[in-house]
Structure 1
């Protein structure tokens, strides 16, 4: 592979889908500064914002989720047909060597286009139970990269499945780098990080809001960094103030390494990307699975963490103010518990996942080039 390589990433809709793709794209760029990288996505503002972190071409595709509602089927079939048509044109125009699907229904049309044009398709699956898009695209894939071995069973035995872990952003977590000053936080308090993700933030924010008063007795010892997803910011600020708890409340932060760097304990949803990052930095967590997650995949993800002792799991309906206080008191103020959870979390972490994924992709493309050379 001596000529400039061209890669097309497809999918999105949430940060949880995009972050692994961005991590792989950055690893490709680190190895080959000349590589051409294109992202096909839904064009949402959040996606455009995140994709600014990498030098790439961004193109939008029409996309609509599959539905059984008759009045929405025409939109679905039109978007699927038009998505495949546009994807085929882009793959040909950019002379794409590999398509890398990151999940989300926007990844299906480019996957189908890759199959039609003979371009190898690689999939990044973030969860213990794959989503519908990746299960469908898995029928055409050369390789599917999964976070855990148990996810293999969801794909055909004819497809190559590699338990590579979830590629994550570069995350540094060392005590001497803990950036308390970035947030205006104190190095002398225990720091609780709350994050609900892009889809599950509202429900988690409401539960935390109702429970904040229960932490007032700890207001001389703790501080909170709360990432709201843009939902309920004002009421949370007031609740922390009323409880006397120093808190930084913000909708989102791109520099998540700084957030993880100051945290002693996280309260989080259990999306695949969040879990991959928590384990990459070895951060103890209380996981609250998003109850509306497709196929209940967040509960399965959380159970993988709990099985090793890296996290505690509580259902959203059970996260009462009293239970919240009990969980915080039993973990954040227990050095032994935090130490054991950190150890278990690190044992699950795969900070090298992006490197492993790109190694497999490069080997597959190298073998393809050799076959073409022999055929020629």
Structure 2
């Protein structure tokens, strides 16, 4: 028997941001764990983040030269469209070489040409959409997909019809219910601030503006600032004589989630999924310049369940932060109810469910 006859191969197309890549990695790892004969290949647009993350996890990957259309000028769009056939041809060459049984699109520039090539070659296409408001790639590709797996109930995607599956957004298994302790009356509020993500300078500055009014409250702070804002944010804390753990980047996010009572952050899809999995309520300040304001819609799903509050980034943000954090510091029941609501939204089996759906399309292998 041919040694390749029962080898299942999955090509994952997309990337460019952690929000696309981290769920894809969770799926890839689950797929590889199902059989030592399974194989995975990532195809992306070659951004430095793609190389860093995938190389760090030891995942094989190839590059398609392609860029996005949204928010770009007319001539740039013409250039991108002119290069699209070459991107499809490159994708087809990769598909012929790797011979995947299924292509999984996770969004990002490279997903469209790869999925189109797969469809033309008779390879089943499955889509995973991380955000509550579907991205352009998902909207374009959903009519040709065998299945479209979404992360939030009520995701508006009419073009997918009956192919929609509510799966959730895969996260690392060690995050699931990692917050074991419960805050009691008299306990300080352990606040985790995630200001190190893309576009989080506005969040960091809103926090710094609020610090003088938060001084003296029973709040213990861990503040991830990002490397660009580390010095500026540190100076604000030290200038006020406020003790806090201020770090550019958190390596051990699981421990930080486990020790927190409340999180203040942007509302990227991965962050929202991780908070639900960990069982943590949040104050969200969505990145106002995110495509189609998708971070607001992600945050809204948590807020509607009672797991979060949302503040827009404007001149009143600091004032609202002070009022909300003061109330949360006084009343542990507030944050514990939010935490319980967040955990109720968790779909810890998302990676397993999606992997099983992928492998169902490989049943003849």
Pair in the same fold by TM > 0.5: yes
Q: CA deviation at 1:132?
A: 0.5
* 1:309 Cα offset (Å): 0.8
Provide the residue aligned with 1:212 in structure 2: 211
TM superposition score normalised by structure 2:
0.90
> Following superposition of structure 1 onto structure 2, how do residues 1-376 of structure 1 map, counting pairs within 5 Å?
3-66=6-69, 69-151=73-155, 153-158=156-161, 160-170=163-173, 171-174=175-178, 190-196=189-195, 198-218=197-217, 221-317=218-314, 319-366=316-363, 369=364
Instruction: Tell me if structure 2 keeps the 8 A contact 1:214–1:325.
Output: yes
Q: C-alpha separation between the residues in 2 aligned to 1:132 and 1:319?
A: 32
Query: Contact 2:305 / 2:341 at 8 angstroms: preserved in 1?
Result: yes
Q: Check conservation: 2:191, 2:264, Cα contact below 8 A.
A: yes
Two-structure CA RMSD over aligned residues (Å): 2.3
Alpha carbons of structure 1 residues 248 and 81: separation in structure 2 relative to 1, 3 Å = farther
Q: What is the aligned residue count?
A: 356
1:224·1:245 contact (CA, 8 Å) conserved in 2?
A: no
C-alpha distance after superposition, 1:39-71 (max 9, x if no partner): 112222222222235332111221211256332
Q: Could you say what secondary structure the match of 1:124 adopts?
A: strand
Alignment gaps of 5+ in structure 1? 179-187, 371-376
Moved over 6 A (4+): none
Q: 1:117 to 1:49 in 2, by over 3 A?
A: same
CA deviations over 1:15-36 (Å, ceiling 9, x no partner)? 1111111111111122123321
Unmatched tracts of structure 2, length 5 or more:
none
Contact 1:173-1:260 at 8 Å conserved across structures: no
| CA deviation after TM superposition for structure 1 residue 347, in Å | 0.6
Distance (Å, rounded) in 2 between the aligned partners of 1:251 and 1:82: 40
Question: C-alpha offsets along residues 311-356 of structure 1, whole Å, 9 cap, x if unaligned?
Answer: 1111111543332211111124421111111111111111111111
Is the 2:180–2:258 Cα contact (8 Å) retained in structure 1? no
Q: How does the TM-score come out when normalised to structure 1?
A: 0.87
Aligned CA distance change for structure 1 residues 360 and 175 (closer, same or farther; 3 Å): closer
**In structure 2, C-alpha distance between the alignment counterparts of 1:119 and 1:251, rounded to whole Å:** 43
The 2-side partners of 1:128 and 1:262 are apart by 28
SS in 2 for 1:123: strand
| Cα distance per residue 1:162-197 (max 9 Å; x no partner) | 01111112215546799xxxxxxxxx8532111246
